Structure 1
C-alpha cells in the first residue's frame, strides 16, 4: 500500500472518530439536558397547578341559592328549626338547633346524606336520630354518643342504612336522651329532606374539584345538605384556615343561623 493510501486511510479513520465523538457528546448532552428541561417543565406545571388550586380556594364563593318552584308543598319551614325553643334562647344558641335553611326545602343528591345540628352544653350522653319516609314508616334509627360540649355535630347515614330514594321526601329528627331516657319533653329538632337526581351539567362540573369548589357548586344549585357537608370537609382538611372559617360563618348567617355560625365543629 502506498504512503498516500495509508495517509488517506488514517485521515478517514480520524474523521470517523471525530464524527463518533461529536455524536457521543451530542447524545450525552441530550440525556442530561432533556430530562432537566422535562423536570423543569413538570415542576413549573405542578407549581402552576398548586397556585391555581390555592387561587380557587380563595375565590370560590360559597352561597346558597334556594331551589326553584319544583319543591313539594310539605317541605320544612323555619318553624321546625326552633321547635319549642323560645326566640330569646335560640338567638344566643341556647337550644338544640338543626342546620337547615329557613323556609325552604332541604335537597340532597346522595343516598346517604350528612345531617348537622347544634347542641348547647348539656348533660345528655346520647342523642336519638330517627328518619322516616313520606308514609311515616321508619327508615333508620340510631343513637349517637355525646361529649357534653357545646358545638355542631354531624351524622352521616352509615352503609348499613338503606339509601334514600330519588324523588321521595323524608323527615328526620334528633332528640337528646337524658338520664331518664326519651321523654315527651326531651329537647329535639326535626327537618325534611328530599333526594334528587343531579343534572348532567352539575355531574360534569363536580368532576375533579376540591371540597370548597364542590360546596360552591352545590350551593349555586340549591342542594343544601352537600353544600354544608362539602364545606365542613374543607374545614376539616384545613382547620386553621381563617378563609374557610369565614366562608362557613357567612354561609350559616345567610340562611338565618347567625346565632351558631361561630360554634365549633365537634366531629
Structure 2
C-alpha cells in the first residue's frame, strides 16, 4: 500500500516539476526577448509536439533532400488569417514534386491538396488560396509537405508535418496593426502577440522588400528563437 502511494506521489511530483520547468523556461524566454522578439504563449498543461517528420531521407537516384518547416516545435503556433502563408526550407532540388496537404483532425479527406514543383533550393512560400476552405477560429489543423518518391507507397515519401491553429483577431491587435504600414513593424507586433505564422511570414516579406535593412536580422532572430541553427539560417540568406 505504502509503495503504491509512494509511486503515485512521485508521479504527481514529477508532472508538477515538468510543468514548473516549462513555465520557468517560457518566462525566461519571454523576458529575454524584450519588446521586439517572439513572445511564445504560456505552456499548456500538457506539452505537445507541434512538428513531426519521417519517411525516406531521399528518393532513388537523387541526392538526399531534407525539409524544414519554419515553425516552433515546443508549442502550437498560431495565425489570425483564414488563409495564411506557410514557410518551409528545402536544401536540395528534388527530382520528384512536393505534395502539400492541409488536414482537419478527424476528417479523412484533406481540405487542400496541391503538388508543388521546386525550381531552386531555399525558402518556399505556400499560400493558401482565397477560394480554399477557410481555417476556422479556435480549431487546429495539420499541414504536411511530402516528397513524392513513391505515390503508391506513401511510407517511402519523406515528409514534415506541423500544426496550425487560427485564433481570433482582437480589437487591440487590429488597432496596433492599423496604426502602421511598415511591414517589419507589423511583424514585430505579431511576434509580441505570440502569433508565430503571421510574424515569420511578415518578417520574411519585410526581408524581401528591404534586404539591406534590419529586416533580415529580425527574420533570423525569430528563427534562432525556435531553435534553428545559425548555419541553417545562413543558408536561408544564400538561397533567398
Please report the TM-score for the alignment, with normalisation by the length of structure 1.
0.66
Match of 1:132 in 2: 103
User: Any stretches of 5+ residues in structure 1 without a counterpart?
Assistant: 1-59, 87-92
- Provide the residue aligned with 2:228 in structure 1: 257
**How far does residue 61 in structure 1 lie from its aligned partner after superposition?**
6.5
Matched, 1:63 2:37: yes
Whether the aligned pair in 2 keeps the contact of 1:76 and 1:106 (CA below 8 Å) is: no
CA distance in 2, matches of 1:250, 1:85: 31
- Residue 88 of structure 2: aligned partner: 117
* Aligned 8 A contact 2:144 2:160 in 1: yes
Secondary structure of 1:163's match?
coil
| Greater helix share, structure number | 1
RMSD value over aligned CA atoms? 2.7
Alignment of 1:162 with 2:112, yes or no, is no
- The residue aligned with 1:211 is 183
Contact 1:174 1:188 in 2 (8 A): yes
Which residues in structure 2 correspond to 1:27-66 (within 5 Å)? 62-66=36-40
Within 5 Å, which residues of 2 pair with 1:100-249? Answer: 100-137=71-108, 138-147=110-119, 149-178=120-149, 180-181=150-151, 183-209=154-180, 210-239=182-211, 241=212, 243-249=214-220
Structure 1 residues 94 and 247, CA gap change in structure 2 (3 angstroms): farther
* Contact persistence 2:99–2:146 (CA under 8 A): yes
Taking a change above 3 Å as real, the CA distance of residues 200 and 255 of structure 1, as seen in their structure-2 partners, is: same
Going from structure 1 to structure 2, the CA distance change for 1:124 and 1:255 (only over 3 Å counts) comes to same
Following the alignment from structure 2 to structure 1, what is the Cα–Cα distance between the partners of residues 48 and 165? Answer: 9
SS at match of 2:95: coil
Deviations 1:74-106 (A, max 9, x none): 85435x2x54699xxxxxx96211111121111
Structure 1 residue 73, shift from structure 2 partner: 5.1
Q: How many residues of Structure 1 are paired with residues of Structure 2 in the alignment?
A: 196
Q: Which segments of 5 or more consecutive residues in structure 2 lack a partner in the other structure?
A: 1-33, 58-63
Residues of 2 paired with 1:112 and 1:62: CA distance? 25
Contact kept, 8 Å, 1:117 with 1:153, in 2: the verdict is: yes
